[in-house]
Structure 1
């Protein structure tokens, strides 16, 4: 099953005048344009490696990386290790402080058909091509993807808890999350981590484009190397691994917003009525609360009017998409089938790139967009559960687009993982 290895990452020189919190950045696929411009003004910020600019951004990043190495801005850690990464955070309306516990390591870039690493969503080819180009030029993983393993006994947690008492970095990121990084160098403990994952499948939570970039790069290199052994540095990918059995693993909902529909409000509600029980609501700001814990229930905010939608159970069997039952049972499958396809006439293949359909994680922003006239309607949904993610992954199927938003996001800049052969080999030998 999953083969993981410790790593010798490149990290910012501890003697730099700038603090680490001035050098970190959000992941490439969640950073806003405004955030990017602010971060680019710092010539040492990690965004210059993770989201490079210029006519040939991958080449620009490669030149910059060599310059930073030569000048000692980045230095490679001398010993291979497992890097423990804890994220402390709170959710709106709650006083509880959560702590998502995990560790960063190298993992072999398994092809999907090997059934070792399982995905739950599709990728967009252009985004994958960008990641391949960047990896090919820099031979550097600028940020870890997020994978999930299952260990009901939490066997690795005591070692992580002990390590985090001596942190390398402690900082607060753009999400308001307190990020803490530490490292385990003890050879015997590292072997425990390696052996624990050896019989596990890993579910890919976040970073499908970056992982597929590593996978495609590995395939290219394998084709060019007649002496391929499977142990070359290009076989591996940087990943942050967390336990599915932790109660601090959060998946937030992603709502749907439509700019316009080609019918009146009355006609839209009439078309919904064969499929849904429609209940008007006075306060739109309660829509996310009235659906909590109710399967196949949604909030609808339409031209300033609020409604609770609940699928009539007897119509669920009408879903004729060629999906396993695990996918058909998802709230978002119900929404995309009955609301988008049956009522609005937007067929499944069109929905992925449908102009005017956007995805919004912030509930109040959904209401505001409708009130301001930026959108005609918002569909509010419940979060997907970890058990649902596992059931879909193990079925071999994928979820509707933008089904999950694992929170919090990891940040870029704590460490960078090289797949240059002369910077990688000792990490592999350390595990033999």
Structure 2
């Protein structure tokens, strides 16, 4: 049944990326463009990272994407007030005409990524146009939805990938040869460049090409779920039918896939190890972090493997008991899903052995930075579970089968910097 005016019969069958009037910082009103950017909201290590970013510039985007207050209502009101003030003061200004934006990230290690930022029509899962590969946490979607409602804005793009190498890619490459709208170097070593695409012929080429493709959500499952929730709340047509995205053609620019680690609050490493010694092989490693991660990678080639840390050492956990896996891992999913490290961690260790709810922020945190995860575990007497990344081919294959991975299973990158271009829905 169709609701809120969304017609399955008339919906496009592919990606529909449209131009918008980007909201950008006025370089004359801020210390530097680099100082007002931030990693995506779920990558910022809290509270240390929030404080660092707030200190970098009074107008840092973290004050919008991660407002600091005691309640959800207070946080969203604070973000909305801040955005209104920055608009009235000219700190943020809207570009004069709608555009798609070519966005480039370049690193001295040779990494180069280019893609298109625009507003994408929010589609239903049944359409098979945008493929998720991870489950989401309802409380995070609710938090993001409250923030977007209060600000009436998409504050940071999510990251989508597709395989194309067609006319859209040609427009991206040609545009990137021109002088950019902005260029900045952030403290993580990435050079960022942004160009606008306003020529009607170029916009038409992009839209015609993308209409034949589907996309994989690389980063931003919670924001996509939020877009879908907010679209359902508003009758079409409305600005909520669209959401801000960065779309990268990975046939030209393959992404890197990294793991997302777990921090288990209140579970000392000794207790975590004691409860699994009869079910897994456990070896303590007298190695620094890089060496321990290499040992994890080697073990992961043979089967499920994890690194536990938090007591000043690293403990390699592998070779799970097959009978334990048979009892705890659901059998109604493809083999590629049943054998994922994240599946075994959540179904076997978190649910069955350690009894830690995966969606309880008081018991578990999901952290992208490996060293930060270890430091926080050691500081608080908790357990860090370090993961080995999943190959992109596995992620895409499962997504095409309609099978979602356990939440926070992967981290694709590089992720777009937040703060370079925003979308206000009422502009």
Normalised-by-shorter TM-score class:
0.7 to 0.9
* Residue of structure 2 in register with 1:374 after alignment: 381
Matches within 5 A, 1:115-134: 115-134=128-147
Q: What CA distance in whole angstroms lies between the structure 2 residues aligned with 1:7 and 1:281? A: 53
* Contact in 1 for aligned 2:304/2:320 (Cα 8 Å): yes
* Residue of structure 2 in register with 1:406 after alignment: 412
Q: What CA distance in whole angstroms lies between the structure 2 residues aligned with 1:265 and 1:52? A: 37
Relative to structure 1, the CA distance from residue 65 to residue 321 in structure 2 (aligned partners, 3 Å threshold; closer, same or farther) is same
* Contact in 2 for aligned 1:58/1:137 (Cα 8 Å): yes
Q: What are the Cα deviations for residues 21-59 of structure 1, in whole angstroms up to 9, with x where unaligned?
A: 232233222223233334445443333333345563333
* Residue of structure 2 in register with 1:159 after alignment: 171
Q: CA deviation at 1:383?
A: 0.8
* Residue of structure 1 in register with 2:148 after alignment: 135
Relative to structure 1, the CA distance from residue 174 to residue 128 in structure 2 (aligned partners, 3 Å threshold; closer, same or farther) is farther
* Residue of structure 2 in register with 1:325 after alignment: 335
* Contact in 1 for aligned 2:43/2:367 (Cα 8 Å): no
* Contact in 1 for aligned 2:24/2:95 (Cα 8 Å): yes
Q: What CA distance in whole angstroms lies between the structure 2 residues aligned with 1:331 and 1:25? A: 30
Residue 48 (structure 1) aligned with residue 70 (structure 2): no
* Residue of structure 2 in register with 1:5 after alignment: 18
Relative to structure 1, the CA distance from residue 27 to residue 308 in structure 2 (aligned partners, 3 Å threshold; closer, same or farther) is closer
* Residue of structure 2 in register with 1:77 after alignment: 95
Relative to structure 1, the CA distance from residue 317 to residue 100 in structure 2 (aligned partners, 3 Å threshold; closer, same or farther) is farther
TM-score when scaled to structure 1?
Answer: 0.80
Greater CA radius of gyration, 1 or 2?
1
Relative to structure 1, the CA distance from residue 6 to residue 51 in structure 2 (aligned partners, 3 Å threshold; closer, same or farther) is same
* Contact in 2 for aligned 1:300/1:380 (Cα 8 Å): yes
Gaps of 5+ in 2: 1-13
Q: What CA distance in whole angstroms lies between the structure 1 residues aligned with 2:84 and 2:272? A: 59
* Residue of structure 1 in register with 2:5 after alignment: none
* Residue of structure 1 in register with 2:3 after alignment: none
TM-score when scaled to structure 2?
Answer: 0.81
Gaps of 5+ in 1: 91-95, 223-227, 424-432
Relative to structure 1, the CA distance from residue 195 to residue 288 in structure 2 (aligned partners, 3 Å threshold; closer, same or farther) is same
Relative to structure 1, the CA distance from residue 217 to residue 314 in structure 2 (aligned partners, 3 Å threshold; closer, same or farther) is closer
Residue 336 (structure 1) aligned with residue 331 (structure 2): no
* Residue of structure 2 in register with 1:290 after alignment: 295
Relative to structure 1, the CA distance from residue 247 to residue 290 in structure 2 (aligned partners, 3 Å threshold; closer, same or farther) is farther
Q: What CA distance in whole angstroms lies between the structure 1 residues aligned with 2:380 and 2:145? A: 39
Q: CA deviation at 1:317?
A: 6.1
Relative to structure 1, the CA distance from residue 336 to residue 28 in structure 2 (aligned partners, 3 Å threshold; closer, same or farther) is closer
Number of paired residues? 400
* Contact in 2 for aligned 1:283/1:306 (Cα 8 Å): no
Relative to structure 1, the CA distance from residue 335 to residue 199 in structure 2 (aligned partners, 3 Å threshold; closer, same or farther) is same
Matched position secondary structure for 1:322: coil
Matched position secondary structure for 1:105: strand
Task: Tell which deviates more after alignment, 2-11 or 350-359.
Answer: 350-359
Q: What are the Cα deviations for residues 90-115 of structure 1, in whole angstroms up to 9, with x where unaligned?
A: 6xxxxx32012211001012233332
